[in-house]
């Protein structure tokens, strides 16, 4: 595990594997770097991976606002002094992390060899109601009176019936000497959902390296009408739609996702 400072900002990362081409993973909203542990282990020993806790998530520091350009610059500064110090890396980002990954590739193209964008598009997300509901549901918990994680799970059951989704969200609930607290910056993330739904100013030079755009077949975040925007910024994009997967493609279909990564990242530069 490593912690990096960028203008007094702490970024927490975990490395998986020591050999082979280097792959950086950026998780989605209210996730953590460890969400990609299974995928990273599946890539080893052919690849070494870096699992990043994005700002306002996991054990990384908090910011005062959410702007994708700023988040991308924080991650880029960390990579330059560490994992990418010897040359460009492959970058994989899911959902919110996918937008950070796209912004980083566009703003710091020298750092990125190949880019994988998972179930998100370089456009303003039209509907954030699902995430507003999920984070809003977490905010209803009275942490001061909470006695156990199991109690939190029971209180959320009616609002969030899906047990897997509840478990994913409750990984952010921690207990300390003063009781329970959210490890992620819940108040800021809920308040900044309109910014999280947006993207960066796209008046930028396109990223001309290979890009794999992965979509879940049951997810609404990659639509045919978003294709032109993706290809305008990332002209060497190919789209892969994963069957029987929703928004969390890598956790719903880990074998198919890992296999697709291996194939794409192992291709020669002309691929």
Summarize pLDDT for 17-33 with one digit per residue, the tens.
999 999 999 999 999 99
pLDDT of residue 130: 86
What is the rounded end-to-end Cα distance, in angstroms, of the chain?
33
Catalytic residues: 95, 187, 247
User: 163 and 99 in one domain?
Assistant: no
Is residue 270's pLDDT more than 70?
A: no
Distance between CA atoms of residues 251 and 247, nearest Å: 9
Q: Count how many domains the chain has.
A: 2
- Please check whether residues 187 and 211 belong to one and the same domain: no
Helices 129-139 and 163-170: angle between axes, nearest 10 degrees:
60
Domain that holds residue 143: 129-191
Phi, psi for 32 (deg, rounded to 5): -145, 160
State the pLDDT at residue 2: 46
- Give a yes or no: residue 271 inside a domain: no
pLDDT (mean) for 247-268: 93
Do 108 and 235 belong to one domain? yes
Q: What is each CA distance from 10 to 198, 207, 230, in whole angstroms?
A: 24, 28, 31
Last residue of a domain, one of 171, 191, 211: 191
- Residue 23's nearest CA partner among 93, 80, 72 is 93
In a domain, 141, yes or no: yes
User: Do 54 and 87 sit in the same domain of this protein?
Assistant: yes
Q: What is the pLDDT of residues 159-211, one digit of tens each?
A: 999 998 999 999 999 999 889 999 999 999 999 999 999 999 888 999 999 99
Q: What is the pLDDT of residue 8?
A: 59
Residues 105 and 227 in one domain: yes
Q: What is the pLDDT of residue 9?
A: 76
Same-domain status, 60 and 102? yes
Q: What is the pTM of this model?
A: 0.94
Give pLDDT, residue 268: 65
């Amino acid at each position: 595990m490593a912690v990096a400072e960028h203008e007094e900002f702490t970024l927490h990362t975990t490395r998986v594997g020591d050999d082979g081409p280097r792959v950086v993973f950026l998780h989605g909203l209210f996730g953590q770097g460890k969400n990609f542990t299974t995928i990273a282990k599946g890539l080893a020993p052919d690849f070494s991976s870096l699992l990043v806790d994005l700002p306002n998530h996991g054990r990384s520091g908090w910011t005062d606002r959410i702007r994708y350009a700023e988040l991308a610059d924080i991650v880029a500064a960390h990579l330059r002094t560490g994992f990418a110090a010897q040359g460009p890396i492959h970058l994989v980002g899911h959902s919110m992390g996918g937008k950070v990954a796209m912004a980083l590739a566009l703003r710091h193209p020298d750092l990125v060899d190949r880019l994988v964008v998972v179930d998100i598009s370089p456009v303003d997300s039209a509907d954030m109601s699902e995430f507003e509901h999920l984070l809003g549901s977490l905010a209803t918990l009275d942490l001061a009176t909470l006695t156990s994680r199991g109690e939190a799970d029971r209180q959320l059951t009616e609002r969030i019936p899906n047990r897997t989704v509840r478990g994913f969200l409750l990984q952010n609930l921690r207990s300390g000497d003063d009781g329970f607290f959210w490890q992620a910056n819940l108040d800021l993330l809920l308040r900044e959902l309109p910014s999280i739904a947006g993207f960066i100013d796209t008046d930028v030079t396109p990223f001309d390296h290979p890009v794999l755009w992965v979509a879940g077949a049951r997810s609404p975040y990659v639509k045919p009408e978003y294709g032109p925007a993706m290809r305008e910024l990332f002209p060497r994009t190919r789209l892969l739609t994963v069957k029987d997967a929703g928004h969390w493609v890598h956790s719903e279909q880990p074998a198919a996702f890992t296999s697709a990564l291996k194939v794409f990242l192992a291709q020669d530069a002309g691929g």
